[in-house]
Amino acid sequence: MAINKSGGFFISKTDSDTERFGEGKPPEGGIDNSPLWKVYKLHFIAFIILLISIFIGVREIKITDNVSFLLLPITYSIVLGMIIYLSKHFKWVGDEEAKIAEGIMAILLGVIISKLAISSGESIYMIFNVGPALILQLFGDTITIIALPIALLLGFRREAIGMTSSICRDPNVAIIIDKYGVKSAEARGVLFIYILGPIIGTLYMSFLASLCVSLLPMHPYAYAMASGVGSASMNAAGLVPLVNLYPAMATQLEAFAGCSNILSSAFGIYMFIFLALPITEKLYSWLSPVLCKSHAIEFNDGTIQDEDDAVNPFGLKMDNIRKIVAVFLVFSVIVAIGNVFSVHAPFADSLIGMLIIVAITFIGLCIGEVIPFHIPSIIIICLIGMFFAIPGVPTADFVTHYASQVDLTTICAAFLAYVGIALGKDWKKFKKIGWRGILITLIVITGTYLGSAIIAHLILLLSGSI
């Protein structure tokens, strides 16, 4: 697995949900090295997965009369993608297609960010009114430390520091490796969650959000803010159930979720450096003498990193404009057709809306490559999308009208079809980590989500915003 500390544009193996835009350069090689027909096959499979997911639709699973959760197209999409890769009967999807999907995922994340940014611009004045809640809910990111004692009881040792000090996305991985070393137990721990996050995090966030809404009477705005964990796919997965349950509030929910995710990406790293990691280390020093009585788990480096993981030769490169534009255009058509079936929007309006969204993404990526200083393109895409949609800006009515025709769930379901195919290649790593790592991953995600939601809800109440 290749870790790019600078958070560059490319995406490495096992990382389906990190926003690697902006700083740094991609690895050598690209999808030019693979025959074009392989790329077209991948798009066709993703399109079929999207249609199947849409036709299955939203399914409510009742646990009790008052408690339920939703199965959504995004769930089916990622699962179907993994099944198709893992099945020996689908000859169209193999290792090369999975690697190509990894590269495509890197730029399609920007499409989700662009869609949320437009909603943020449209609701900019409302965002200003609840600003304190958006900022203070970031403290919920430190609640991941509730998993520390459980990790120690399960046999993890200093791996627990890496596993439970954050939600373990790119910036956290880079800091842990820089502080403790790439071969350290702490680095091994953070990489456990880093690998498991894309595989189970997206599915679990969707389940967790829909379950919490029926269990805990907090405002939808608070849940939308809590979905901003610094991962685009988990952000979208936590948001989609809210949009389905509260369709009249879709624009506002998308706005809060998008802004929260940007804040988590931009400022969450400082929360991690100065608060979460020191607290985790201190708690470990207190708890380990008491809880580390059981047999410790033994690991080897092969649990995390295989010899063929050093380079992803199929990552999309920013200097290959033609291929990137082609991916954006094909993805726009796929989503526009899916949008016709999912929300019955006119194809022409859906396509125009998608072209606007991908144009903003493309401009942001290009600017991120040419500016002389390091600003991640995720920030640039968000700023451009917000600006074009702010009420009073000449482009606002046009952009918001057509972008609103495109359903966020449809975009995410199409994106996660590629994610599922790419993640199928990492199934062996998933099995190596085992149930202990899965349990800690679920606790870490639950802690940061619920912690942020509770803080946001309380601040919204105290400020009179709800």
Residue 7: pLDDT above 50?
no
304 pLDDT band (50/70/90 cuts)?
low
- pLDDT value, residue 22: 39
Amino acid at 188: R
96 pLDDT band (50/70/90 cuts)?
confident
Out of 54-58, 318-322, 348-352, least confident range: 318-322
- pLDDT value, residue 244: 86
Out of 46-55, 153-162, 230-239, 426-435, least confident range: 426-435
What's the whole-number mean pLDDT along residues 7-13?
34
What's the whole-number mean pLDDT along residues 179-189?
82
Task: For residue range 134-169, list pLDDT tens digits in order.
Answer: 888 889 888 999 999 999 998 888 999 999 998 877
- pLDDT value, residue 225: 93
Whether residue 369 contacts residue 307, with contact meaning beta carbons closer than 8 Å, is answered with no
Nearest to 265 by CA among 2, 9, 20: 20
- pLDDT value, residue 283: 95
Read off the pTM.
0.72
- pLDDT value, residue 150: 94
- The residue that leads in pLDDT, 218 or 61, is 218
Residue 418: pLDDT above 80?
yes
Out of 36-45, 50-59, 302-311, 397-406, least confident range: 302-311
Residue 385: pLDDT above 50?
yes
Residue 65: pLDDT above 80?
no
Percent of the chain with pLDDT over 70: 81
